[in-house]
Amino acid sequence: MTSLLHLDSSADRSGDSVSRELTALFAETWRAEHGRAGDRCRYRDLAADPVPPLDTAYCTLGRRLERNGLPSPADIDAWIRSPAEEREWALTRPLITELLAADTVVIGAPMYNFSVSALLKAWIDRVGLPGVFTHPDTGKSLLHATRVVVITTRGGSYGPGTPQEAWDFQTPYLRAYFGKQGVAEENIHFVSAELTMAAVVPHLAHQQPLAVNSLASAREEVTALAAARLPVGRTTV
């Protein structure tokens, strides 16, 4: 069955968040397209329920796993040596489980200070426990066939050919992260809505028509990606 993991990482829960608007559009379209299977949609609001930052026990457990050949998630309990490590694994396991269960992951990723929000970074750090996305027998990534759709929103303009293109540490970072975790390059999609602050910041007011066009294009791309069906017979390695 198909399943969706829907993540929001905007700190703004007032209703004004463009990234939240676009991820909601994706999820709504995905559910409509997949019918009853659309019930398999897991939502995580990283602002309402923040992922705790890593601590010493997490790092100690991670190093132990690396020294011992990266045991599979099912075997990690056997490598825990303290209540603190047990607590860290209890915080981490549900996040990894729901990511592995998803055929499609949609992430709302507003740009904060040229990169991702601390809320999203905390989730990325925690699910990145060594070895959890590697098949214990084949060594292949369990995320290879997972489709990741990242919806980025930026107050200014950072797209290809713009003066601030080199200031975008958000898209390259997320592409590298999911690629390193084994997601196939063709399964990583980015949709961007730019100049979201044009209606707010006076010096960007002249860019409002571009902002309107960017948001309209983003909505079209989001709808198309959400409506696209995965290949029949998709399996994990």
pLDDT of residue 1: 58
Q: Angle CA(105)–CA(120)–CA(138) in degrees, nearest 5?
A: 50
> Would the pLDDT of 216 be above 70?
yes
Name the CATH code of domain 4-227 (choices 3.40.50.360, 3.20.20.120, 1.25.40.10, 3.40.50.1950). Answer: 3.40.50.360
Work out whether strand 41-45 and strand 147-153 pair parallel, antiparallel, or are unpaired: unpaired
CA distance 117 to 113: 8
Is residue 84 exposed (0-12), middle (13-18) or buried (19+ Cβ within 10 Å)? middle
* Helix 208-227 / helix 18-34 crossing angle, nearest 10 deg: 30
> Would the pLDDT of 229 be above 70?
no
Q: What ranges make up the beta strands (E) of the chain?
A: 4-8, 41-45, 104-110, 147-153, 188-193
Tell which wins on pLDDT, 211 or 116: 116
139-169 tens-digit pLDDT: 889 999 999 999 999 988 888 888 888 999 9
22-75 tens-digit pLDDT: 999 999 999 998 876 556 899 999 999 999 999 999 999 999 999 988 888 888
Tokens at residue 133, please?
A: 């996305």
The answer to whether 153 touches 196, Cβ cutoff 8 Å, is yes
DSSP labels for 180-226? HTT--GGGEEEEEE--TTTTTSGGGGGGHHHHHHHHHHHHHHHHHHH
Q: How many CB atoms lie within 10 A of CB 146?
A: 26
DSSP labels for 79-97? G--SHHHHHHHHHHHHHHH
> Would the pLDDT of 232 be above 60?
no
Q: Hunting for tokens 């397209």 — which residue is that?
A: 33
